[in-house]
Amino acid sequence: MPLKHIVIASDFSKYAEYALQRAISLAERHHIPLHLIHVLQQPLSVDFDQYLSEQPKDFLSLEKDTLDKLSALILKYPTNISINLSVLAGRASDEITQYTEQNQGNLIIAGAQGQYYIHEYVLGTTSSYLIEQGKTPVLLIKKEPSFSYKKILIATDFSKPSKKAIEFTFKCFPEAQFQLLHVVDIFNSQNLKGNSVDLLESNTKNIMEQLDYFLKECNVTYDQFEKKIMGGYVADTIIMQSKNWNADLLAFGAQGHSKLHYLMTGSVAKRLLQLSYIDMLVVPPS
Look at residue 257 and tell me whether its pLDDT is greater than 80. Answer: no
Which pLDDT does position 134 carry in this prediction?
Answer: 64
Which pLDDT value is given to residue 119?
46
Is-same-fold flag (6-141; 151-283)? Answer: yes
CATH of region 6-141 = 3.40.50.620
Give the chain as a DSSP string: -----EEEE--SSHHHHHHHHHHHHHHHHHT--EEEEEEEPPPTTS-HHHHHHH-HHHHHHHHHHHHHHHHHHHHTS--SS-EEEEEEES-HHHHHHHHHHHTT--EEEEESSSSSIIIIIITSHHHHHHHHT--S-EEEE-S---S---EEEEEE-SSHHHHHHHHHHHHH-TTSEEEEEEEEE---GGGEETTEE---HHHHHHHHHHHHHHHHTSSS-GGGEEEEEEEE-HHHHHHHHHHHTT-SEEEEES--SSGGGGTTTSHHHHHHHHH--SEEEEE---
Taking 80 as the threshold, does the pLDDT of residue 230 lie above it? Answer: yes
Mean pLDDT of 109-115: 75
Residue 169 and residue 93: Cα distance in Å, rounded? 23
Tens digits of per-residue pLDDT, 27-59?
A: 999 999 999 999 987 655 556 566 556 566 677
- Across 73-98, average pLDDT: 91
Q: What is the dihedral of CA 269, 212, 159, 137, to 10 degrees?
A: 60
Q: Which residues lie across from 64 on neighbouring strands?
A: none
Average pLDDT over residues 254-272: 58
Is the four-CA dihedral 89, 91, 92, 95 of positive or negative sign? negative
Right CATH number for 151-283 from 3.40.50.620, 2.10.25.10, 3.90.226.10, 3.30.70.20?
3.40.50.620
Q: In the prediction, which pLDDT does 48 show?
A: 56
- Counting residues of the chain whose pLDDT is more than 90, the rounded percentage is 50
Instruction: Find the range with the poorest average confidence among 119-123, 172-176, 247-251.
Output: 119-123
Is a pLDDT exceeding 50 seen at residue 92?
yes
Q: Report the pLDDT value the prediction gives residue 122, as an integer from 0 to 100.
A: 43
Which residue would you say has higher pLDDT here, 124 or 98? 98
The domain ranges of the chain are: 6-141, 151-283
